Amino acid sequence: MNVDRSDDFRPVERRGTDSLKWRRYGDDVLPLWVADMDFRAPEPVIRALHERVEHGVFGYGVAPPELRQVIVERLRRLYGWEVSPAALVFLPGVVTGFNLVCQAVAAPGDGVLIQTPVYPPILRAPANAGLSCDAMELTRRSDGRYEVDLDLFEETITGRTRVFILCNPHNPVGRVFRREELERMAEICLRHNIIICSDEIHCDLVFSGHRHTPIASLSPEVAGQTITLMAPSKTFNVPGLKCAVAIVPNPELRRRLKATHADWAQEVNVLGYTAALAAYRDGQPWLDQALRYLEANLDFLIRYVEEHLPGIRMSRPEGTYLAWLDCRQAIPGNPYRFFLERARVALSDGADFGRGGEGFVRLNFGCPRATLAEALERMREACNGART
Give, in order, the Cα–Cα distances in Å from 258 to each of 20, 101, 371. 30, 10, 42
Q: Which residues contact 57 (CB under 8 A, 6 or more apart)?
A: none
pLDDT value of residue 7: 65
The whole-angstrom separation of Cα 36 and Cα 29 is 16
Cα(283)–Cα(301) distance, integer angstroms:
26
Q: For residues 298 and 325, what is the distance between their CA atoms, to the nearest angstrom? A: 13
Residues in the chain: 388
Instruction: Give the Cα separation of 239 and 154 in Å (integer).
Output: 34
How confident is the model at residue 2, as a pLDDT?
Answer: 42
Element spanning 343, H or E = none
**Beta strands, E only, 13-107:** 30-31, 88-91
H or E element, residue 264 = helix 251-264
Sign of the alpha-carbon dihedral angle for 350, 176, 316, 282: negative
In this prediction, residues 261-266 reach a mean pLDDT of 83
Measure the CA–CA gap between 298 and 293, rounded to whole angstroms: 9
pLDDT of residue 377: 98
pLDDT of 206 over the 90 cut: yes
Query: What whole-number distance in Å separates Cα of residue 212 and Cα of residue 338?
Result: 35
Please determine, looking at this structure, whether the domain spanning 6-43+284-383 carries the CATH number 3.90.1150.10.
yes
Task: Reply yes or no on domain 58-282 having CATH 3.90.245.10.
Answer: no
Which pairs with CB-CB distance under 8 Å and at least 24 residues apart come from 177-180? 177/148, 177/213, 178/213, 179/213, 179/218
For the chain, the C-alpha Rg in angstroms (whole number) is 21
241-252: pLDDT as tens digits:
999 999 999 999
pLDDT value, residue 6: 56
- Domain(s) of CATH 3.90.1150.10: residues in the chain: 6-43+284-383
Whole-model pTM: value is: 0.96
* Virtual torsion, Cα 56, 61, 62, 63, nearest 10 deg: 60
The residue type found at 345 is V
- Where along the chain do the CATH 3.40.640.10 domains lie? 58-282
Q: 4 pLDDT exceeds 50?
A: no
Span 188-194, mean pLDDT? 98
Question: Contact, 365 vs 298, CB < 8 A?
Answer: yes
% pLDDT > 90, the chain? 92
Q: In this structure, what DSSP letter does residue 353 have? A: G
Alpha-carbon distance of 257 to 245, in angstroms, equals 12
pLDDT digits (tens, 9 = 90+) for 60-100: 999 999 999 999 999 999 999 999 999 999 999 999 999 99
Q: What is the pLDDT of residues 31-44, one digit of tens each?
A: 999 999 999 999 99
Q: Cβ contacts of residue 388 below 8 Å, gap of 6+?
A: none
pLDDT on residue 236 = 98
Summary mean pLDDT of the chain: 95
